[in-house]
Structure 1
Amino acid sequence: MNAADDKTIVKDYFNSTGFDRWRRIYGDGEVNKVQLDIREGHQQTVDTVISWLTDDGNLATLSICDAGCGVGSLSIPLAQAGAKLYASDISEKMVGEAKERAEALLGNNSNPTFTVQDLETLSGKYHTVICLDVLIHYPQDKAAEMISHLCSMGESRIILSFAPKTLALSLLKKIGSFFPGPSKATRAYLHREADVVKILESNGFVIQRKAMTKTRFYFSRLLEATRN
């Protein structure tokens, strides 16, 4: 399978059975134990990003691109805090859900601005570009292209998350425990942190902060890089 096939799989999955599953995971309704674990892990990653941005004390002055916004788990609270959000996702259904959640919490507001786009067609310039839990769906060569494109849009900062390629996680993935049961619907790609850092550095960014979220079924390395 090539990268184009991966993109088609991701788009089709999150517009069909995957949409219902992940809408529940990213919501607050009843889910099974595995889904609850993933929900809690994802929320920890989102909370870390929000804390980084709010601790800087200038959130209300920022323009932020949330590439792969899902149902708005990050975009909506950042918009509530005053940042200008431009959010996109490859899944039309995910974007529709994000709009509904934003309207319920923020009213009929133009912030965040939501669009249905794949990452490669995004354009514009933003103070901060964020991409959470997207790279896991793509192999290294495609991930490198995506990161470089995101860097071209980031005027000051890039924040990325990815599933780190370590011996332990590689073994878990190999035996089928990385995404157990029915949650295993798209291929899960692990990425070496050194490779991701090298791509960021080659595009003129330097690492500022790191974090790691690790639960039973959710593993995410978070990197913040600023333009050198």
Structure 2
Amino acid sequence: MKDPKANSDASNSSDKWWLSFYQDTPFITYLDTTHGEDHEDILNFLYNHCLLDRGKKQSISIFDQCCGIASIGLPLAKEGFKVYGADICPQFIQEAERRAEMLKLKDNLSLQLTDATVYLPPEKVDLTLNLYTSFGYADHQTNLKMLEKAHQSLKSEGIFLLDFPNFHLVLSHFRKYIVREIGPSDAPITVIREAQLSPLEGRLKQTWTFIDNDGKRTRQESSLAIYLPDRLLAMLKEVGFSKFTVFGDFKTAAAYQTDSPRLIIQARA
């Protein structure tokens, strides 16, 4: 399921902080918890608003640009769509492959350990996804490259769906600390997220502390670009996208407002 060449792309990215972040923290448990909260809403949104026709699933291909543990790719592959997934984190790809093998989905799901700023699937696809704030962690030019690859991955008039924080809401209701518990009740993991705005850099910097049931602490830092809707739309236009529809959440598919939970942009190649 892996392309050996893809490993070289990932290894060339060793200077990127997220390689250590995702491998040195219990992030699979975190993803299972947080992704599970809106999993069905996202799938319903894709069927209702992204032209996923179950009657034509054999002819529809999908690229999950930063697939993580394939939370969305696995059910789409199980439904019968051809899904390509890429992620730079070996831990995520290994777990996604384990789950795909358990569900016997190897024929419909192709996973690559690679950098999404350089990778393209082996064929043009109908739908490319970038979900769960998987975009915006690099410098501006590298972020643009990821959007450019998304555009290049699509057939003419193909759909790109970008899911990003609504920074109008984040900034107006800024929360320095967020604490939550994840994992099973008999072995919970406490996650403490401390956020700091860096306005001169245009970044949201976060320190994540994971405390397991035995008191062991794992601490990592992350940095996310602060992009407001107009800036993201300009970036998407710059790499060739057009015909934009902007939503505010997956559950209701309501039009974007400044107080919407998310910023979800649908664009055409």
Matched residues in 1 for 2:234 and 2:179: separation? 28
**C-alpha deviation, 1:196, in angstroms:** 1.6
The structure whose residues are more often strand, as a share, is: 2
Q: Which has the higher contact order (CA 8 A, sep 6+)?
A: 1
Matched residues in 2 for 1:190 and 1:48: separation? 25
Q: Is the 8 A contact 1:25 1:39 kept in 2?
A: no
The 3-state SS of whatever aligns with 1:137 is: coil
Matched residues in 2 for 1:6 and 1:163: separation? 26
Matched residues in 1 for 2:108 and 2:250: separation? 32
The structure whose residues are more often helix, as a share, is: 1
Q: Is the 8 A contact 1:140 1:191 kept in 2?
A: no
Normalising by structure 2, we get a TM-score of 0.65
The residue aligned with 1:130 is 129
Matched residues in 1 for 2:31 and 2:109: separation? 18
Q: Is the 8 A contact 2:177 2:192 kept in 1?
A: no
AA at the equivalent of 2:262: S
Matched residues in 1 for 2:75 and 2:52: separation? 15
Which of 94, 97, 102 is residue 95 of structure 2 equivalent to?
97
Runs of 4+ residues over 6 Å off in structure 1? 4-7
**C-alpha deviation, 1:90, in angstroms:** 0.7
Matched residues in 2 for 1:15 and 1:146: separation? 21
The 3-state SS of whatever aligns with 2:224 is: coil
Show the 5 A alignment for 1:175-190: 175-177=175-177, 182-183=192-193, 184=208, 185-190=221-226
| Residue 30 of structure 2 is aligned to residue 25 of structure 1 | yes
| Residue 49 of structure 2 is aligned to residue 52 of structure 1 | yes
Which of 6, 18, 42 is residue 10 of structure 1 equivalent to?
18
Q: CA RMSD in A?
A: 3.2
Identity %: 17
Gaps of 5+ in 1: 28-34
The 3-state SS of whatever aligns with 2:37 is: helix
**C-alpha deviation, 1:222, in angstroms:** 1.5
Deviations 1:145-193 (A, max 9, x none): 3212211222222111111221x412545x5246885343422333211
Normalising by structure 1, we get a TM-score of 0.76
Which of 80, 83, 102 is residue 82 of structure 1 equivalent to?
80
The 3-state SS of whatever aligns with 2:223 is: coil
